[in-house]
Amino acid sequence: MLFGVDHLVILARDLGDSLVAYERLGFTVTPGGEHPGQGTHNALIPFADGAYIELIAFRDPDRPQPHRWWPHLSRYQEVFDGFGDTPNPARTGSALPGPSRDAGELSETYLATGGGLIDFALRSDDLAGDVAALAARGLLFDVVDGHRLRPDGQSIAWRMALPAAEGGVPVPFLIQDVTPRSLRVPDGRAREHANGAIGVASVSIAVDDLGTAGDAYAVLLGSRLPTPTDDARVGAASLTFSCAAASLILVERAALADRSPACSTSLLAAVGGRGPGAIAAALESHPPVSGHWLDVRDTQGALLCYAVRPGGQAEDPGGAAMPTPPPPVLGEGAGGEGRAPRCLPP
């Protein structure tokens, strides 16, 4: 059985810089350790709702590696070859083009070439059973083992189911712990953040075809296909699925790429042009805040905003109460139209 969003994956070029940057944003960041044999290391930002953000980086980012996330970094690096000196890494968090480019353009280029939010996972308590059931309905995954060595020497293990279809619908990977989850995901004070973040409210995913992707997500989540909703902020239809306490929002990539930019750096247009996959996430906070975007120079190019889960109340940055839409009528065996926290500029 699937239990909602396990974690978001954000790719950084330098893990130390990204850790400092996220701490500057008010997050409590916990060093995660090394992935033996994978050439990567990570840091974690766990939330009270059980989900977390994984900040991941390659130990040797300039060496081609047989890792499924390496293409994201290699596309990013190709663009920057020959640009000259790098700006202050404490501000940009990576080896970016020289000072002739402003921070907004740097972040846009990073997004367009693969950095930032690159993937997300759903948690399973029966990976073998879930994979078999999904395969019977036409959605195929390959199961692999994963492990990490924490800085304190503790070894942890899990199993993952990775989408088998290269270039297909960008569905998340699935994960089940082998060792206790409390060893993989920090608890206690590690989940307390000065900025008030308490969980993942939604993930927005760019897809090539809304109908095809909607069918795949309906199979994945065991729900009926929701009614498409016109979103004026995107200028296109979207599909919203309930996934435990979070929402998964599908939007056609072409609509994002062609969209009139609502923010000065055209960030969504840049993301829409880099390929299908996770593009943005909304975080829930306490006290509730909606409509506040985190600085992409600090998020390593990831589009992160604060929003409220359906049915709650939020305050805008000016302090005015903002009503939120009713919860979607979705879930196992139930279909219908729903609205959810949007991670798109108003």
User: What's phi and psi for 4, nearest 5 deg?
Assistant: 90, -170
Using omega within 30 degrees of 0 as the cis cutoff, is the peptide bond preceding 288 cis? no
Q: How confident is the model at residue 39 (pLDDT cuts 50, 70, 90)?
A: confident
Q: How confident is the model at residue 256 (pLDDT cuts 50, 70, 90)?
A: confident
Q: What is the pLDDT of residues 263-286, one digit of tens each?
A: 434 456 666 667 788 988 999 998
Of 122, 149, 144, which Cα lies nearest the Cα of 59?
A: 149
- What is the CA 222 to chain-centroid distance, rounded? 21
Does 112 fall in a domain?
A: yes
Instruction: Give me the torsion for CA of 297, 298, 304, 308, rounded to 10°.
Output: -130
Q: Tell me: do 26 and 51 sit in the same domain.
A: yes
In sequence order, what are the beta bridge partners of 40?
35, 58
**Residue 45 in 3-state DSSP?**
strand
Tell me: pLDDT of 203 over 90: yes
Tell me how many helices (H) and strands (E) the chain has: 9, 16
> Which of the pair, 14 or 22, is modelled with greater confidence?
22
Instruction: Provide the pLDDT for residue 337.
Output: 32
Does 29 fall in a domain?
A: yes
Beta-sheet pairing, 197-207 with 277-285: antiparallel
Q: Tell me: do 232 and 106 sit in the same domain.
A: no
> Which of the pair, 87 or 310, is modelled with greater confidence?
310
Domain boundary among 126, 145, 180: 180
Write out the residue range of the structural domain in which residue 75 sits: 2-180
Does 311 fall in a domain?
A: yes
Residue 150: CB atoms within 10 Å: 16
Q: Tell me: do 161 and 137 sit in the same domain.
A: yes
**Residue 85 in 3-state DSSP?**
coil
Residues 6+ positions from 284 with CB-CB distance below 8 Å: 49, 197, 198, 199, 200, 201, 306, 307, 308, 309, 341
Q: Tell me: do 201 and 313 sit in the same domain.
A: yes
For residues 20 and 28, the answer to whether their CB atoms sit within 8 Å is: no
23-27, 188-192, 256-260: range with lowest mean pLDDT: 256-260
Q: Tell me: do 36 and 133 sit in the same domain.
A: yes
Q: How confident is the model at residue 166 (pLDDT cuts 50, 70, 90)?
A: low
Mean confidence (pLDDT) of the chain? 76
Count of structural domains, the chain: 2
Q: What is the pLDDT of residues 297-339, one digit of tens each?
A: 788 888 898 887 765 544 433 333 322 322 222 222 223 333 3
Instruction: Provide the pLDDT for residue 32.
Output: 96
Residues 6+ positions from 172 with CB-CB distance below 8 Å: 119, 120, 121, 122, 220, 278
Q: Tell me: do 158 and 204 sit in the same domain.
A: no
Does 340 fall in a domain?
A: no
Q: What percent of the chain has pLDDT over 90?
A: 47
Q: What is the pLDDT of residues 43-55, one digit of tens each?
A: 999 999 999 999 9
Does 343 fall in a domain?
A: no
Does 335 fall in a domain?
A: no
Instruction: Provide the pLDDT for residue 327.
Output: 28
> Which of the pair, 112 or 173, is modelled with greater confidence?
173
Q: How confident is the model at residue 72 (pLDDT cuts 50, 70, 90)?
A: low
Tell me: pLDDT of 57 over 60: yes
Tell me the mean pLDDT in the region 187-205: 95
Domain boundary among 180, 208, 224: 180
Q: Tell me: do 169 and 201 sit in the same domain.
A: no
10-24, 73-87, 176-190, 315-329: range with lowest mean pLDDT: 315-329
Residues 6+ positions from 123 with CB-CB distance below 8 Å: 2, 3, 4, 5, 6, 174, 175, 176
- pTM (2 d.p.): 0.79
